Amino acid sequence: MIRRFVFGEMIETEAILEKPQAEGGAVPFLCVDEEAMTFSYSMEDSDRVYGLGENVRGMNKRGWIYESKCSDNPDHQEDTRALYGAHNFLVVDGKEQFGIFLDYPGILTFDVGYTRRSELKITASDWNLDLYVITGENVKDIVKQFRHLIGRSFVVPMWAFGYGQSRWSYMNEDEVREVANKHRQLGIPLDSVYLDIDYMERYKDFTLNDEAFPEFEKFNEEMKEQNIHLVPIIDAGVKQEEGYSVYEEGLEKGYFCKKEDGTPFVAAVWPGKALFPDMLNKEARDWFGDQYKFLLDQGVEGFWNDMNEPAIFYTEDRLNQVMEQLGEYKGKNLDLNLFWEFKGLVNGLSNNVDDYTKFYHNMNGKKIRHDRVHNLFGYNMTRAAGEAFERLEPDKRILMFSRSSYIGMHRYGGIWMGDNKSWWSHILMNLRMLPSLNMCGFLYTGADLGGFGSDTTEDLVLRWLALGIFTPLMRNHAALGTRVQEAYQFEDVDGFRHIIGLRYKLLPYLYSEYMKAVLRDEMMFRPLAFDYPEDARAVRVEDQLLLGDGLMIAPVYEQNAEGRYVYLPERMKLVRFKKDGSCEEEILEAGDHYVDVALTDVVVFVRPDHLIPLSKGGQCVADVDFEDLQYLSFVENEAVYEYYHDDGYEKDYENPAHMCVIRMEKDGKVCRE
Amino acid sequence: MIRRFVFGEMIETEAILEKPQAEGGAVPFLCVDEEAMTFSYSMEDSDRVYGLGENVRGMNKRGWIYESKCSDNPDHQEDTRALYGAHNFLVVDGKEQFGIFLDYPGILTFDVGYTRRSELKITASDWNLDLYVITGENVKDIVKQFRHLIGRSFVVPMWAFGYGQSRWSYMNEDEVREVANKHRQLGIPLDSVYLDIDYMERYKDFTLNDEAFPEFEKFNEEMKEQNIHLVPIIDAGVKQEEGYSVYEEGLEKGYFCKKEDGTPFVAAVWPGKALFPDMLNKEARDWFGDQYKFLLDQGVEGFWNDMNEPAIFYTEDRLNQVMEQLGEYKGKNLDLNLFWEFKGLVNGLSNNVDDYTKFYHNMNGKKIRHDRVHNLFGYNMTRAAGEAFERLEPDKRILMFSRSSYIGMHRYGGIWMGDNKSWWSHILMNLRMLPSLNMCGFLYTGADLGGFGSDTTEDLVLRWLALGIFTPLMRNHAALGTRVQEAYQFEDVDGFRHIIGLRYKLLPYLYSEYMKAVLRDEMMFRPLAFDYPEDARAVRVEDQLLLGDGLMIAPVYEQNAEGRYVYLPERMKLVRFKKDGSCEEEILEAGDHYVDVALTDVVVFVRPDHLIPLSKGGQCVADVDFEDLQYLSFVENEAVYEYYHDDGYEKDYENPAHMCVIRMEKDGKVCRE
């Protein structure tokens, strides 16, 4: 059951399109303090709290304080309070079971037992919000109801399930060609190469660097002939430059965010001074969305939207101010306090929350200050694109994922997990974020495999890929100035070929589970706690996941480890895929196991009476035969699998012809219905 | 066997006082490339590499690149290459077993399979160094030989084994009193309160803030009457201020580091502009050491030396330059490159390696540029103090620990692990650093419990203390601006009292093991690999430690966990100390176990035929009765324990009266010999 409670008058987010009738009366479970603008709940020691989408720490979010404040934050550390998204949905699981969603576009804090271990306290910045309280049969049911409420998740074209290679940046055609060729020559599968900011002319959206990509359309075609898709980045800020048509047209039409006095709000990003299209203004959004046509027309079929928290290097006004102030420190003895002040001025230029109060949106004719709707910006940039794709290419699926997001955006695109680092602990962060994102509707997601910031190592990339082969978005991406980390840069090419190749074998299962999760409002990745709620050990497991109907995964995330502990809540079949192409199987009893996992092994666990359809693999998604299936199976009585398959490009998702049932008897006999 | 090889002419570090005769001929194990200034070794997959003292990552250092470059670095992350110390000793354990020590005061890199997984490569900045290659019966023997070579480790006064409470800063007498009183009132044991930089008059070494501490000597006495020791911080930089006697005297005598032109090198730290005493010049060192008399004379018996990498906020010259350059950015459109340049100028002011080439030392009359001897600075600051203590208080043990260090400094003081953060992963980092520091002679050590930077939580402090009760230095310390984290700030006071109280019960064992490790050149904390080298699983364990003769510890370092996996290389007895004062025991077979560990439990494992002497505890070290012992024991045949005990303050460590043997029969009968 979903109940809606209205406090004040919320600014419409369109997270929820069909709202249940608002209720009066007391809010269940929560203690409401209008004056303090808080909701609180007293937790028992055994209560667990799931959700909050893109955040650090555990699947169980207890013990930290999180902020919903979309942030351009490359420091994904244990003490990070906010990342790029604002995902205000959580489920309390324990003595009571309920979900809550705060539909609120401003900044919120979720103190989940940080200040006091037993208290959950949610604090809003103002008292205009809708609160949804959801109860159900169990946690999965609560999540499913919520997912239904927020609408169906975005679907990508099938090729977007292939392996993608990215770097900030492949600087020109030849560098992209090299990536494509190297993979093809070495037999390492590949489906996409990502173009980071340098493909543009001086970081101007919807332009091309003509020296680096003199014949982009032709080059794109050349790549497509090899079944490789180019995926360019689009930034939120539009360069302020006379003669640049996007800038001039947007300015003329009044489509950029403005300061209080009505003049354009100028903030710098990659190109220096830039203006932000007013993504919250429908007309401006339509106009911005139409700009993608420039690249669609050259055959591009996928995009990633970046810097849309929005990230701000500095605002014109603050920089001018700081430049003046810096002079005042000249000749002074800068002691601790003065020196910190001085450094603080410079380091406070970027992503300064105070700047959110310096510009305004035009929402349906109303002038709204940015801080009140901060968390909607990235969402609406991606919505601009998504709505435009529907207009411009109605019959085509276009890949789209974003850095910033709010619930509701999941209908228009996926997200990647942002600018992580080449840290072993980030494998685990990647894993833990998958179910919490799924809870909030984000199914097409993944982390920068190998790590974006800082230098990686061969073993880290291998181990991370062994998780990445399971995530819908499977992309290796690295930052400017870091060690190169394409698979072919390392010595154990066989190992990379084997692990990445396995992704393509898994595709029938992964795509089927993804589509069923989309169509049924379910989670593709689940904590063990969601399927085994009665198992006191299972509910505490923070480093294993259920993947779809029949698999459990437990990747290795410790350097130099030769294996790891795995907890089995029930009898399962361990399947080990080895580099030499062989496959070992072993049935393990419920309980604790230490499992050997060599550096190039991939280990999965099949649940009893389940089967997993596999293909024979391929060098790209187009190569993969989704009909000629093999099966991983653990049949004690009978395994029944609902197999979804479509052509991967059309949009008739609900066509019953896409679904069939595969049955396996104990003797291994398979039949399809 | 220890073999010494000489390359070029090293600058004397005095790490090793009695050097073996240098050898000619080929260096064993290593491939030497004089031109590239490298030593390299080809590793097998199963080889492990231990050592390198204070560094991030595993006990097995494979898979990363480390730098010996003493650094003021509060970011202890997986990609951190250098912390505060330079500890150039490692042991390769595998196909071959050998230790190497590079006695070299300049910057070194240790690429331990980072660039190529199978290659260990050490690169020096110039080719003037002594290389020691050590072989032995096993890893423990190699370490013991090395430890003997570098001389006996520093011994602290007994009270320094008590619990210490610190914060940057307790601002005045009343704040310190409150800390003392709260602990005493609540029955939480305490032996010391640390004074961070604000006890001084405007951060001037060897001064007191007279407003905050108007009668310091009297106040110190008041605290001592409660058995609480005040431990003030001393910084490396001496404030440049006319009328300040330390500055004036040092300047007059020419004891500060100088620029090439002979004028003083001015660099800023806490007080702003400051000068660095030339710690490498014997006369200056003696003079600086004599300054500690100011506090010794007021009854102080312990110090911590900080900022002695040396940390540099900025140099006078660089700041002037940057101030000029900043003006040039005014009015420009700062795009990506220009803005990063601009920010880089400001952020490059601090701890800029280029500044190491801008000042000089006077070593035995020779002018030596700082970069060539960078890693000796903190070592010699602490040596200045240690040598002075021997002159000024020859009969007393004075507590001393330092942030920066080089091997050799372990004879004069301990180290703390520097400015860590309130991160769960830092519990594990703390644990893993213990054996590598012990290998390098640093026995008196510990981390800032609860975490220095960033905000902590109650459960983190509890779990961290449950490791901290085992480390010789047991101190809770937190940075300015972070959440308060004294034990009494949280709700579960009983839990804190229980865990900290346990420390005092463990003291007979801990002190005995510490002193035996000192006197026998052994390691108090050892990886399982060192004691169970034939056990393929044990050699990979990275989150358990052997502590002294008879204990294994396996702390919980994951938030919300209710237990953890533990690997037992042999049958052991699990002992669980519970908050209610009870104690549960269970004998566990060799192998894998999942062990429940409630948030306020402390679990230890007793090895077979071992016994652990415990006291009945106390509110401070002076309370603890080291004669009235109880025993944790796991006796299958007979347990024999060599018990070291002295009065904790005199220096006759080798007096045989300090050692006795305690025997326990299978029937529990104990006899002392």
What confidence tens digit (pLDDT) does each residue in A593-639 have? 999 999 999 999 999 999 999 999 999 999 999 999 999 999 999 99
| DSSP per residue, A547-568 | ETTTEEE----STT-SEEEEEE
Name the B residues in 99-138 with CB < 8 Å from any A CB.
113-114, 116-117
Angle formed by the axes of helices B173-186 and B216-225, nearest 10°: 0
Q: Give the residue from A235, A322, A335 with the most B CB atoms within 10 Å of its CB, the best one to mutate.
A: A335
Determine the average pLDDT of the residues in B34-56.
Answer: 98
The residue in chain B having the minimum alpha-carbon distance to the alpha carbon of residue A240 is B333
With a cut of 90, say whether residue A445 has pLDDT above it.
yes
The residue in chain B having the minimum alpha-carbon distance to the alpha carbon of residue A491 is B116
If DSSP codes are grouped into helix, strand and coil, which group holds residue A231? strand
Name the B residues in 316-335 with CB < 8 Å from any A CB.
319, 323, 326-327, 329-330, 333-335
Q: Is B57 on the interface with A (CB under 8 A)?
A: yes
CB contact under 8 A, B425 and A425: yes
The residue in chain A having the minimum alpha-carbon distance to the alpha carbon of residue B271 is A335
φ, ψ of residue A406 to 5 degrees: the values are -140, 155
What pLDDT was estimated at residue A315? 97
What pLDDT was estimated at residue A299? 98
Name the B residues in 534-573 with CB < 8 Å from any A CB.
537, 540, 542, 558-562, 565, 567
The residue in chain B having the minimum alpha-carbon distance to the alpha carbon of residue A460 is B63
* Least confident range of A273-282, A329-338, B230-239: A329-338
d(CA A37, CA A30): 13
Burial B286-321 (b: 16+ CB within 10 A, else e): ebbbebbeebbebbbbbbbbbbbbbbbbbbbebbee
SS (H, E, C) A579-613: CCCCEEEEEECCEEEEEECCCCCEEEEECCCEEEE
Q: Is B421 on the interface with A (CB under 8 A)?
A: yes
d(CA A446, CA A246): 31
The residue in chain B having the minimum alpha-carbon distance to the alpha carbon of residue A56 is B423
Closest Cα in chain A, distance from residue B597 (Å): 13
Q: Is B273 on the interface with A (CB under 8 A)?
A: yes
With a cut of 90, say whether residue B673 has pLDDT above it.
no
How many residues are there in chain B?
Answer: 673
d(CA A105, CA A128): 9
Whether the Cβ atoms of residue B280 and residue B310 lie closer than 8 Å to each other: no
d(CA B63, CA A273): 42
With a cut of 90, say whether residue B475 has pLDDT above it.
yes
DSSP state at residue A164: E
% of chain B surpassing 70 pLDDT? 100
Is the backbone peptide bond immediately before B271 cis, with ω within 30 degrees of 0?
Answer: no
Q: Is A337 on the interface with B (CB under 8 A)?
A: no
With a cut of 90, say whether residue A16 has pLDDT above it.
yes
Closest Cα in chain B, distance from residue A455 (Å): 7
- Who among B58, B454, B559 is closest to A58 (CB)? B559
CA R_g for chain A: 25
With a cut of 90, say whether residue B618 has pLDDT above it.
yes
Q: In this structure, what token pair is assigned to residue A523?
A: 């989670």
CB contact under 8 A, A78 and B203: no
Question: Nearest to residue B505, comparing CAs of B475, B474, B470, B540?
Answer: B470
State pLDDT tens for residues A571-580: 999 999 999 9
What pLDDT was estimated at residue A249? 98
With a cut of 90, say whether residue A406 has pLDDT above it.
yes
CB contact under 8 A, B78 and A424: yes
SS (H, E, C) B41-84: EECCCCCEEEECCCCCCCCECCCEEEEECCCCCCCCCCCCCCCC
State pLDDT tens for residues A29-61: 999 999 999 999 999 999 999 999 999 999 999
State pLDDT tens for residues B11-28: 999 999 999 999 988 999
d(CA A628, CA A41): 52
State pLDDT tens for residues B69-117: 999 999 999 999 999 999 999 999 999 999 999 999 999 999 999 999 9
Residues of A in contact with B496 (CB under 8 A): none
Q: Is A42 on the interface with B (CB under 8 A)?
A: no
d(CA B484, CA A143): 37
d(CA B627, CA B507): 11
- Who among A58, A333, A594 is closest to B592 (CB)? A594
Q: Quickly list H helices, B358-418.
A: 370-373, 377-392
Question: Nearest to residue A286, comparing CAs of A408, A390, A388, A391?
Answer: A388
Closest Cα in chain A, distance from residue B540 (Å): 7
Q: Is A270 on the interface with B (CB under 8 A)?
A: yes
A566 CB neighbour count, 10 Å cutoff: 22
Determine the average pLDDT of the residues in B137-144.
Answer: 98
CB contact under 8 A, B327 and A327: yes
Closest Cα in chain A, distance from residue B541 (Å): 8
Whether the Cβ atoms of residue B663 and residue B639 lie closer than 8 Å to each other: yes
How many residues are there in chain A?
Answer: 673
CB contact under 8 A, B560 and A323: no
CA distances from A302 to A84, A174, A386, A673 (A): 21, 20, 11, 35
Strands annotated E in B174-333: 192-195, 229-235, 238-239, 266-269, 272-275, 302-306, 314-315
CA distances from A467 to A421, A550, A602 (A): 16, 17, 9
CB contact under 8 A, A540 and B559: no
What pLDDT was estimated at residue A673? 86
What pLDDT was estimated at residue B315? 97
CB contact under 8 A, A421 and B77: yes
Residues of A in contact with B457 (CB under 8 A): 63-64, 113-114, 117
Name the B residues in 207-226 with CB < 8 Å from any A CB.
none
CA distances from B672 to A460, B643, B652, B660, B663 (A): 53, 9, 22, 7, 6
φ, ψ of residue A411 to 5 degrees: the values are -80, -15
Q: In this structure, what token pair is assigned to residue B261?
A: 């032109």
Contacts of B325 (CB under 8 A, 6+ apart): B345
% of chain A surpassing 90 pLDDT? 99
d(CA A358, CA A513): 45
Closest Cα in chain A, distance from residue B43 (Å): 13
CB contact under 8 A, A333 and B273: yes
What pLDDT was estimated at residue A487? 98
Burial A522-550 (b: 16+ CB within 10 A, else e): bbbbbbbbbbbbebebbbbbbbbbbbbbb
d(CA B603, CA A323): 57
What pLDDT was estimated at residue A491? 98
d(CA A180, CA A191): 9
Residues of B in contact with A169 (CB under 8 A): none
Whether the Cβ atoms of residue B7 and residue B129 lie closer than 8 Å to each other: yes
State pLDDT tens for residues B657-670: 999 999 999 999 99
State pLDDT tens for residues B420-447: 999 999 999 999 999 999 999 999 999 9
Residues of A in contact with B562 (CB under 8 A): 540
- Who among B273, B339, B454 is closest to A313 (CB)? B339
- Who among A313, A424, A491 is closest to B116 (CB)? A491
Q: Is A36 on the interface with B (CB under 8 A)?
A: no
CB contact under 8 A, A559 and B57: yes
Determine the average pLDDT of the residues in B324-347.
Answer: 94
CB contact under 8 A, A459 and B565: no
Question: Nearest to residue B134, comparing CAs of B121, B148, B123?
Answer: B148
Whether the Cβ atoms of residue A560 and residue B60 lie closer than 8 Å to each other: yes
Closest Cα in chain B, distance from residue A601 (Å): 15
φ, ψ of residue A400 to 5 degrees: the values are -150, 125
d(CA B417, CA B448): 7
Q: Quickly list H helices, A240-315.
A: 245-253, 282-291, 293-296
Determine the average pLDDT of the residues in B367-389.
Answer: 98
d(CA B459, CA A76): 21
Tell whether pTM > 0.90.
Answer: yes
Residues of B in contact with A457 (CB under 8 A): 63-64, 113-114, 117
CB contact under 8 A, A79 and B424: no
CA A339, A340, A341, A344 torsion-angle sign: positive
B136 CB neighbour count, 10 Å cutoff: 18
Name the A residues in 136-195 with CB < 8 Å from any B CB.
none
Q: Which residues pair with residue B635 across a beta bridge? A: none
DSSP state at residue B150: H
Residues of A in contact with B313 (CB under 8 A): 334, 336, 339
Determine the average pLDDT of the residues in B482-500.
Answer: 98
If DSSP codes are grouped into helix, strand and coil, which group holds residue A658? helix
| Token pair 């399979």: residue | B113
State pLDDT tens for residues B172-219: 999 999 999 999 999 999 999 999 999 999 999 999 999 999 999 999
